[in-house]
Structures are given as structure tokens and as C-alpha cells.
């Protein structure tokens, strides 16, 4: 086989293929709605269009999602209908009719015929409140229908209810809705106001057990779990610093007793200091 002449023989076939691929269908004409469709209620009733051809597709674009519509052909054209009875997010939307490469859009305003099952929402801000700062809480409540539209319960265009709530100073995790962990808001303890310090000597183990606590904020709440408490003690030669984290408002350390050495010790939480005590076995 000679390569070039064979390739040359293929040229007419290639040319024909190019000609064929350049052929295209005529553009479709814009279907005419038989009635006014500027405002539509969902679920849709049949919307009728005058049109030619039988290769139409229809999509309803709502504010956030596209919905495929069913196309049923008649003698003069076709009508479109919804495939299910679900609602949509209300507001502006568009119906798109497509035939081949032709697309036709119709601007519409959507509303639902029914609100379905409603859900009450209660948002709090801020979600985390520290008692050292303001104890006020902003609350905003509203109702959502089954399709995520805000519902006007009184019909007076009063969609949202705002409140400022003064919170309790008691630390805890609170929920705005029962059994809904995501609705939780948190009241956290404030800064430690005093560092009480106690110690006891345990002769059998030959150690001092030193305890700082109860560590409380200005409202009597125990400081947060894991709050760092630094115990600084001096044996006359070395200054030792032991950092421990509080549990249930208390922090405990053990200091080995070394004969007759007297330790002077204090504890601090940030810049709140305890009194200085002397650790001695007698």
C-alpha cells in the first residue's frame, strides 16, 4: 500500500463529512402562553403554550433550585405541569422552555398554595457569653414553613420578633429549643476573683499536698475546667514553678518535703494571687 495516494483517496469522504457536520436544524419559534403567567402558585396547575414541534423540555428555576417540569403535547402546542406537589422558595423565578439549541425564558413570581409543616426558630446572639462581660442576650424568633419561607403569622407583615434578654449569671449550657443541641448557647465562667490556699503535710509519704480552691468568679461560679494555676514556691535556693490545670474549681500539687526546709509558696491564676504560705511539717 502506498500511504500518500491512499490518504488522498480519503479526502473526498472527509470533505463530505465536514459538509454534513455543518448542517443544522432551523431555530424554534418562541412558544406563546395561552394565559397570563406572571404570577404562579405552587404546585403548578397546567400552563398551556402554543407552539410547533414536539421536542420541548421545560424547567422552572426557583430562587435556589431548578425543577424539571413535565411536558404534555396537544394539537396546538403543549402544556407543562409539575411532577410532584412540593413547594418552593417563594419569590422571583423563571420558566425555561428548550427545544434543540433554542431556549426561551418567562419571568414569573412564585408563591406556595400551602405552608405545609411550620418550624419555629429561635436564634440567640452571642452564642457564648462570659459573665465578666455583658449578660444581655439578643433573641430573634420567627417561623419557617416547610419550604424554608419565613411565615407571617399575624398577617401584619411582622415576620421577626426581636427581644433583648438578660441572662442568668449561672454558668451552663442552655438550649433555646428542647432536644435541639444546635440551638444551645453557653454561659461561661468569668475570671477568678480569689485564690484560697490550703496545705497539709502527709508524713507517711513525706509530702505536702497543696490545694488552691475553690476558684470562683465574681458570681460564685467555679472557674473553667483546665484553668491554669501556677504554684510558685521557694526553698531559699531555688524558685520552683509548677503549672497545673484546675478541676471542678480546685488545683492540687504535691511538694516533696526535704528535711527541715521551709517552703514559702503562693499560687496565682493570671494576675490573681493567693496569700503566701509557709510549708513546714510541724
Using the contact rule CB under 8 A, the part of the chain among 88-96, 104-112, 150-158, 267-275 near other proteins is 267-275
Assess 168 for contact with other proteins (CB under 8 A).
no
Three-state SS sequence of the chain: CCHHHHHHHHHHHHHHHHHHHCCCCCCCCCCEECCCCCEEEECCCCEEEECCCCCCEEEEECCCCEEEEEEEECCCEEEEEECCCCCCCCEEEEEEEEECCEEEEEEEEEEECCCCCCEEEEEEECCEEECCCCCEEEEEEEEECCCCCEECCCCCCCCCEEEEEECCCCCEEEECCCCCHHHEEEEECCCCCCCCEEEEEECCCCEEEEEECCCECCCCCECCCCCEEEEEEECCCCEEEEEEECECCEEEEEEECCCCCCEEEEEEECCEECCCEEECCC
CB of 278 to other proteins, least distance (A): 16
Please report whether residue 4 would count as binding other proteins according to CB under 8 A.
Answer: yes
Q: With binding defined as CB under 8 A, does residue 138 bind other proteins?
A: no
* CB 190 to other proteins: min, Å: 9
Q: Which of 130, 176, 193, 218 binds other proteins (CB under 8 A)?
A: 130
* Binding span for other proteins by CB under 8 A among 25-33, 84-92, 148-156, 184-192: 184-192
Instruction: Name the minimum Å distance from CB 271 to other proteins.
Output: 6
Q: How far is the CB of 197 from other proteins (least distance, A)?
A: 16
Nearest CB to other proteins, comparing residues 46 and 119: 119
For other proteins, the binding residue among 83, 91, 225, 281 (CB under 8 A) is 225
Q: Which residues bind other proteins (CB under 8 A)?
A: 2-4, 126-128, 130, 181-182, 188-189, 191-192, 223-228, 232, 234-235, 237-243, 245-247, 252, 254, 269-271
Amino acid at each position: 500500500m502506498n500511504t500518500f495516494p491512499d490518504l488522498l483517496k480519503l479526502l473526498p469522504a472527509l470533505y463530505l463529512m465536514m459538509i454534513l457536520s455543518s448542517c443544522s436544524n432551523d431555530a424554534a419559534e418562541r412558544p406563546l402562553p395561552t394565559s397570563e403567567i406572571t404570577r404562579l402558585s405552587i404546585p403548578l396547575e397546567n400552563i398551556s403554550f402554543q407552539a410547533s414541534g414536539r421536542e420541548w423540555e421545560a424547567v422552572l428555576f426557583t430562587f435556589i433550585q431548578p425543577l424539571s417540569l413535565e411536558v404534555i403535547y396537544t394539537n396546538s402546542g403543549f402544556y407543562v405541569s409539575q411532577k410532584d406537589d412540593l413547594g418552593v422558595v417563594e419569590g422571583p423565578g423563571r420558566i425555561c422552555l428548550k427545544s434543540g439549541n433554542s431556549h426561551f425564558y418567562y419571568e414569573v413570581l412564585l408563591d406556595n398554595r400551602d405552608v405545609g409543616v411550620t418550624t419555629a426558630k429561635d436564634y440567640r446572639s452571642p452564642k457564648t457569653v462570659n459573665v465578666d462581660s455583658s449578660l444581655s442576650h439578643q433573641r430573634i424568633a420567627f417561623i419557617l414553613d416547610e419550604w424554608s419561607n419565613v411565615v407571617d403569622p399575624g398577617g401584619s407583615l411582622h415576620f421577626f420578633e426581636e427581644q433583648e434578654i438578660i441572662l442568668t449569671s449561672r454558668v451552663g449550657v442552655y438550649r433555646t429549643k428542647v432536644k435541639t443541641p444546635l440551638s444551645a448557647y453557653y454561659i461561661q465562667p468569668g475570671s477568678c476573683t480569689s485564690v484560697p490556699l490550703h496545705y497539709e503535710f502527709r508524713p507517711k509519704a513525706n509530702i505536702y499536698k497543696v490545694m488552691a480552691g475553690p476558684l470562683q468568679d465574681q458570681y460564685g461560679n467555679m472557674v473553667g475546667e483546665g484553668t491554669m494555676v501556677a504554684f510558685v514556691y521557694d526553698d531559699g535556693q531555688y524558685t520552683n514553678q509548677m503549672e497545673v490545670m484546675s478541676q471542678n474549681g480546685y488545683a492540687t500539687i504535691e511538694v516533696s518535703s526535704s528535711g527541715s526546709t521551709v517552703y514559702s509558696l503562693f499560687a496565682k491564676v493570671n494576675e490573681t494571687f493567693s496569700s503566701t504560705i509557709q510549708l513546714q511539717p510541724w
